Structure 1
Amino acid sequence: MIVITAPTGNIGRSLLPLLLDAGAPVRVVARDPARLPEAVRDRVEVVTGSHGDPATVDRAFAGARAVFWLVPPDASRTPEQAYLDFTRPAARAFTTHGVTHVVGVSALGRGTPLAARAGLVTTSLAVDDLIAATGVAYRALANPSFFENLLDDLDSIRDHGVLTDTAPADHPVPLVATADIATAAAHLLLTPTWTGVDTVPVPGPELLSPHDLAHQMTTTLGRPVRYHRDSLDDLRTTLLTHGLNPAFVDAMVEMKAAKSHGLDAGTTPSPSGTTFAQWCAEVLKPAVDAR
């Protein structure tokens, strides 16, 4: 039995059909099972609840061989509460129920000087350490920023032709489609011959600067898109006006600063995967047209 957490998120939605089409028995943990895609709803076991709840993970992990672990960011809490405290019940349940293999969603940067002060990335790496300490065979999928994060700027891109971030305009970095993370996770979950603890980079096939992103958006959407660089102080102010936890906001800003200073630099692109042009055509343009 393979247990999937966050099955209705971007990665989970792509991962589920890959496992089911391979004939794997799958159990999912979902707060709202009605949000599961209809195509898979009747093909999986469902445990209703939060995978940060001890009773829920006890039910979900009973008899499970492997778990796909993803912490859903909760900006109403501190990073330690949102990531580490959320994961502790699952870490205990891995041991209690004899789970042997865990695949988790993590971040690039381990072993670099910037990783110690990289905000949410630092906390994500601490989650990896927490899981690894349980004794399970563990693979941390180390990802850069997701293409899908750009959808947070969808209204600005559509209405004003402006993509906004805090990164240097001509600074090329890796980015990845969540579908490629799902593919990497499926491979590991379906072939559990690996042992020990390790990191598996999932960097995407290209290095792209914000100017590159805006140029490709312009080409795909058939309308001008330009890049605007916000300051970190502006970002902090904007996030705080939305009522987010101040410590979580600080960690987000610290992560952005670390990425701007090269946290993800030096990563070799993958020889395969979704290009940004493909993602723009298959995901961004339909989203823009649907608004």
Structure 2
Amino acid sequence: MDNKQLHHSEQCIGVNDVARRQLLSGLALGAGAGLAMSLAISPLANATNRTTGTRIVVTAPTGNIGSQVLTNLLTSSSDAKIRVIVRDPSRLPAQVLDQVEVIQGSHSDASIMDQALEGASSLFWLCPPDSRAESVMSAYVDFTRPACEAIKRNGLGSVVSISALGRGTPMAANAGYITASLAMDDLIASTGVAFRALTMPSFMDNIARQASSIHEQGRFFLPIDGDLKLPAVATRDIASVATGLLLDPTWRSQEEVPVLGPEDLSFNEMARIMSDVLDKPVIYEQVSFETYKTGFVQRGMSDAMAQGLTDMAKAKNEGIDNALNRTPENSMPTSFRQWCEEELRPLILV
């Protein structure tokens, strides 16, 4: 498939309706909007009736997004069976292990994927990039190839994947991880499975990786223009959208579902918000792309993967995340200020 074949879905439920219906149905996620075939029905609101006898497979269940998807599924009113693929089951809480079927191994392994997809209805797919991979395409496309073969062999009904914005833009051909993510989506789509690729800008949660420098130096660092306004999304909102889709067996076709935050902000604006929430001065400092890449290599990342992150940052600096128009349907509710208050502040003020 070429870089323009998947198209953007506009059939998303309004955020306020989703939040209200989630609360009414016993799934108080506090965020998100899922795709539905009818704007009158939340994908989570009637999950019990529509997911009876289904089995949902979750990859990367101990990761930031996957763990939230898993929690959402287990606390929903659905009676869908949940199966997880995990390398080390001991990393899952005991109360979770009691509620799921565990397939131990890597979701890059064809035999593991065959076990996981046998009798399954839908798959949550998240490709964890290998920091030591020889290329970004190997890390995303080659990793996903065995799963795609298993999808075809097992007649899987649907896939929801985590991907990136940028399809159809001039920057997409040389955008590192973004380019590889879009190629991964095309590979999944080539199986013919019903498919929703959740396309995201940068995650607000990535700021937390710099909690130490924010705490100790009052600074955070990236190679992107500090005055460039960009979308950013909280992983809780991504997980909520994914959950809604996984619990709704009625959708078909293959589409991208953009998942943006509520507003575009520059990193300088983020610094001012952090300063206010943390009650201490925080400054954004733009570093060179060379310095950015060198830092990853020094921490053990392969040159190819470090270059992939750098190319992605360059594409974002050139506006790849700004190509899509913001709409009420693709704008999620969690603001950066709210995320700072609820997620960053506890990390900094310990």
Assess same fold via TM > 0.5: yes
Is 1:47 aligned to 2:103, yes or no?
A: yes
Where in structure 2 are the equivalents of 1:113-192 lying within 5 Å?
113-192=170-249
TM (normalized to structure 2)? 0.81
d(CA) in 1 for partners of 2:66 and 2:293? 30
2:65 to 11, 14, 26: 11
Is 1:262 aligned to 2:319, yes or no?
A: yes
CA offset at residue 246 of structure 1?
Answer: 1.1
Secondary structure of 2:301's counterpart equals coil
CA offset at residue 222 of structure 1?
Answer: 1.0
CA offset at residue 178 of structure 1?
Answer: 0.6
The aligned counterpart of 1:286 is 346
d(CA) in 2 for partners of 1:272 and 1:181? 9
The letter of the residue matching 2:335 is T
Contact 1:15 1:182 in 2 (8 A): yes
TM (normalized to structure 1)? 0.97
Contact 2:260 2:332 in 1 (8 A): no
Contact 2:233 2:332 in 1 (8 A): no
Contact 1:13 1:37 in 2 (8 A): no
Contact 2:60 2:85 in 1 (8 A): yes
Instruction: Return closer, same or farther for 1:285/1:39 CA change in 2, 3 Å cut-off.
Output: farther
Contact 2:225 2:317 in 1 (8 A): yes
The aligned counterpart of 2:284 is 227
Q: Which has the higher contact order (CA 8 A, sep 6+)?
A: 2
d(CA) in 2 for partners of 1:235 and 1:38? 39
Instruction: Return closer, same or farther for 1:176/1:150 CA change in 2, 3 Å cut-off.
Output: same
d(CA) in 2 for partners of 1:165 and 1:190? 37
Greater CA deviation, 97-106 or 39-48? 39-48
Instruction: Return closer, same or farther for 1:199/1:166 CA change in 2, 3 Å cut-off.
Output: same
d(CA) in 2 for partners of 1:106 and 1:143? 6
Secondary structure of 1:264's counterpart equals helix
CA offset at residue 272 of structure 1?
Answer: 3.7
The letter of the residue matching 2:334 is T
Gaps of 5+ in 1: none
Greater share of helix = 1
d(CA) in 2 for partners of 1:85 and 1:280? 36
The letter of the residue matching 1:18 is N
Contact 1:103 1:141 in 2 (8 A): yes
d(CA) in 2 for partners of 1:275 and 1:36? 29
| Identity percentage of aligned residues | 46
* Runs of 4+ with >3 A deviation: 269-272
d(CA) in 1 for partners of 2:86 and 2:66? 11
Once the two structures are superposed, residues 97-143 of structure 1 have per-residue CA deviations (whole angstroms, 9 ceiling, x without a partner) of: 11110000000000111111111100000000000001100110000
d(CA) in 1 for partners of 2:208 and 2:294? 21
Is 1:22 aligned to 2:82, yes or no?
A: no
CA offset at residue 271 of structure 1?
Answer: 4.3
Contact 2:160 2:197 in 1 (8 A): yes
Is 1:68 aligned to 2:124, yes or no?
A: yes
Contact 2:87 2:105 in 1 (8 A): yes
Instruction: Return closer, same or farther for 1:192/1:256 CA change in 2, 3 Å cut-off.
Output: same
d(CA) in 2 for partners of 1:92 and 1:159? 48
Once the two structures are superposed, residues 239-269 of structure 1 have per-residue CA deviations (whole angstroms, 9 ceiling, x without a partner) of: 2222311111111111100000100114316
d(CA) in 2 for partners of 1:48 and 1:12? 16
Once the two structures are superposed, residues 29-54 of structure 1 have per-residue CA deviations (whole angstroms, 9 ceiling, x without a partner) of: 11111111344221111111111111
d(CA) in 2 for partners of 1:138 and 1:87? 14
Once the two structures are superposed, residues 125-166 of structure 1 have per-residue CA deviations (whole angstroms, 9 ceiling, x without a partner) of: 000000000110011000001011112211100110001111
d(CA) in 1 for partners of 2:268 and 2:243? 33
d(CA) in 2 for partners of 1:75 and 1:14? 23
Where in structure 2 are the equivalents of 1:91-106 lying within 5 Å?
91-106=148-163
CA offset at residue 12 of structure 1?
Answer: 1.2
